[in-house]
Chains A and B, each alone.
Chain A
Amino acid sequence: MAKLILSMDGLVLKEIPLAKERTTIGRKPHNDIQIDNLAVSGEHAVIVTILNDSFLEDLGSTNGTVVNGNPIKKHFLQHNDVIELGKYKLKFIGEAAQAASGSGDKSDFERTMVLRPSALRQSNEAPRSSPGASRAAAVQQAASAAVAGIADPRDATRTVPPAPQAASAPRQAGQPLGAIQLLSGANAGKELELTKPLTTLGKPGVQVAVLTRRPQGYFITHVEGAARPNVNGQQIGPAPHALKDHDVIELAGVKMEFFLKA
């Protein structure tokens, strides 16, 4: 079972298992977790627990709820999250983290597993001797092992954020921004910043190339047209071509310079 560790000024006050579907937090005595402090609202927040997932929701409290330093309205609690209510801190310990205690295999984190409703049902019944039941139990075990693996403290999610969106942010932050400036043609002198992961250049049906922004830098790839683009007077191959600062690209009769912005 997931639990919360209540502490103040680094002193652990108590451990609270999240046994109920709704665990309320507030100053008034009818709350499941009562924190008698004026910074805490009467009904401050609630934690809704469904299977192994716990969600924290602020109930419109006066001083707000802060998780890991960020004020939240609603939050999907993850292992080691710290909820701050005034001077008090509640540390969330995920269920799987306790069960696994380091035995979880993080390589299994994303491995696709089957979760069968029948397996869940049968695991609740008394064990039966039919091979079907034992197989179902095995799948169930495997499934819970997978769940156990995901909240392992050494888990990959700590270093590699799960959402690609989140993953792309640091990638682009540490990388210099590229841009191209047109050197010839009607729009000569015009500049185009390459902020998107993909930028297409050229005329559809005549000659098109794409500039891709990757962690390793910028690449140009030929997409369509009889001739491939030139970089510094040399025609590029069919594979993506890495661009260097101040490379000159020639495409569909237009010359342009690629450069990195400081």
Chain B
Amino acid sequence: MDLAQVLEIASCTDPGMVRSHNEDSIATDPANGLVVLADGMGGYNAGEVASGMATTVIITEMRQILASTQPNQIDPRTNQTIAARLMREQVLKANGSIYQAAQSQPQYAGMGTTLVVSLFYDNRVLVAHLGDSRLYLLREGALRQVTRDHSLLQEQIDSGLLTAEQAKNAQHKNLVTKALGIDPSVEPEIHEYPTRPGDLYLLCSDGLCDMVEDEEISTALQALGGNLKLAAQQLVQMANDNGGRDNVSVILVRILREYPGARGVMAKVFAWLK
């Protein structure tokens, strides 16, 4: 199913006001309803390499597989949708590629990347994430953070050591507890949520949410919802106006109408014929 008519996607990435390199990487595949955002880390240009590998591996592998499978079918072995299994496999594959490169080439040693991936299919969104890149949802005028960071700060908030207010001024915002490519194996956090027409999804790197308050993000998205491209640029600009101390990347996805997946025998035959 071609989702390019159902999803409106806009994205923007910028090195910010301080950094010379952009270690963020974004990729979108509107036809398959797939968007990927990664925020790389590691010395010299290794961060760019890691985030670039993550987005490339995931987008190309998923594109190939989605061309011949129905993501909404149930996998009899795991009782999950095929999409959930695919997503996990591809994230692990990307992890392996980055880890191997980091091991085999000294200039890439220690590189890694955060990741947030969303796959839209069958009126729902499948989200996998690692680290502090986030997915937000603007629905009926309210902005909600969908993913929860894998970061030291979030852990401290969860355990009650810090309040959300104190966290805004905390100094170790940059320490993530999970990332892609650091260890030989990793377990991404994967969730699935139903979508509704009119929903606006925002994927962003920490360069946005560290510099711009959630309220301001919400205002900008509501004011500029009629023009997603402009909204994406505005968010990046707001981060830069507030100092832009990190790379900033955003991907916006709006659900224009329902997109139920194909079901039943005919769908299977059709998939098999392809």
Per-residue CB contact flags for chain B residues 121-152 toward chain A (1 = under 8 Å, else 0) read 00000000001100000000000000000001
A214 and B224 contacting across the interface, CB-CB below 8 Å: no
Complex interface: stretch among B25-33, B57-65, B237-245:
B237-245
B39 and A112 contacting across the interface, CB-CB below 8 Å: yes
Q: Helix, strand, loop or mixed for chain A's interface? A: mixed
Per-residue CB contact flags for chain B residues 229-251 toward chain A (1 = under 8 Å, else 0) read 01000100110011101100000
CB of A197, distance to nearest CB on chain B (Å): 6
A76 and B169 contacting across the interface, CB-CB below 8 Å: yes
Per-residue CB contact flags for chain A residues 91-123 toward chain B (1 = under 8 Å, else 0) read 000000000000000010111111111000000
Q: Identify A107's interface contact among B18, B179, B206, B241, CB under 8 A.
A: B18
Binding site for A on B (CB under 8 A): 18-19, 39, 41, 110, 112, 114, 131-132, 152, 156, 161, 166, 168-179, 182-183, 206, 210-213, 216, 219-220, 223-224, 226-227, 230, 234, 237-238, 241-243, 245-246
B245 and A114 contacting across the interface, CB-CB below 8 Å: no
- Residues 204-248 (chain A) with a chain B CB within 8 angstroms: 204, 208, 210, 212, 214-215, 221-224
Closest to A50 in B: B161
Q: A112-B41, A112-B132, A139-B110 given. 10 additional CB < 8 A pairs?
A: A111-B41, A112-B114, A113-B176, A115-B176, A116-B182, A147-B175, A164-B243, A214-B237, A215-B241, A223-B223
Q: Identify A160's interface contact among B39, B176, B178, B245, CB under 8 A.
A: B245
A163 and B169 contacting across the interface, CB-CB below 8 Å: yes
B219 and A197 contacting across the interface, CB-CB below 8 Å: yes
A-B contact pairs, 24 of them (CB 8 A): A50-B161, A109-B245, A110-B246, A112-B41, A112-B176, A112-B246, A114-B112, A117-B177, A135-B110, A142-B110, A143-B175, A147-B171, A151-B171, A164-B212, A164-B243, A165-B213, A171-B242, A197-B238, A198-B223, A210-B224, A215-B241, A223-B226, A223-B227, A224-B226
B172 and A150 contacting across the interface, CB-CB below 8 Å: yes
Given known contacts A196-B219, A214-B237, is B168 in contact with A165 (CB within 8 Å)?
Answer: yes
CB of B254, distance to nearest CB on chain A (Å): 13
Q: How far is the CA of A156 from the CA of B234 in the complex (A)?
A: 25
A200 CB–B CB distance under 8 Å: yes
On chain B, the residues within 8 Å of A197 by CB distance are 216, 219-220, 238
On chain A, the residues within 8 Å of B161 by CB distance are 50
CB of B246, distance to nearest CB on chain A (Å): 5
Given known contacts A115-B175, A165-B168, is B226 in contact with A208 (CB within 8 Å)?
Answer: yes
A162 CB–B CB distance under 8 Å: yes
Closest to A155 in B: B171
Binding site for B on A (CB under 8 A): 50, 52-53, 55, 74, 76, 78, 107, 109-117, 135, 138-139, 142-143, 146-147, 150-151, 156-157, 160, 162-165, 167-168, 171, 196-200, 204, 208, 210, 212, 214-215, 221-224
Q: How far is the CA of A116 from the CA of B110 in the complex (A)?
A: 12
Q: Identify B211's interface contact among A113, A147, A164, CB under 8 A.
A: A164
Closest to B175 in A: A115
Q: Which of A139, A157, A197 counts the most chain B CB atoms within 10 A? A: A197
On chain B, the residues within 8 Å of A208 by CB distance are 226
Given known contacts A139-B182, A198-B220, is B206 in contact with A112 (CB within 8 Å)?
Answer: yes
On chain B, the residues within 8 Å of A196 by CB distance are 219
Closest to A150 in B: B171
Given known contacts A156-B245, A197-B216, A223-B224, is B41 in contact with A114 (CB within 8 Å)?
Answer: yes
Q: How far is the CA of A171 from the CA of B131 in the complex (A)?
A: 31
On chain A, the residues within 8 Å of B114 by CB distance are 112
Q: Which 8 A-B pairs have the closest CB atoms?
A: A224-B226, A115-B175, A164-B242, A223-B227, A150-B171, A112-B41, A200-B223, A114-B179
Q: How far is the CA of A76 from the CA of B171 in the complex (A)?
A: 10
A146 and B174 contacting across the interface, CB-CB below 8 Å: yes
Q: Identify A221's interface contact among B132, B219, B230, CB under 8 A.
A: B230
A113 and B174 contacting across the interface, CB-CB below 8 Å: yes
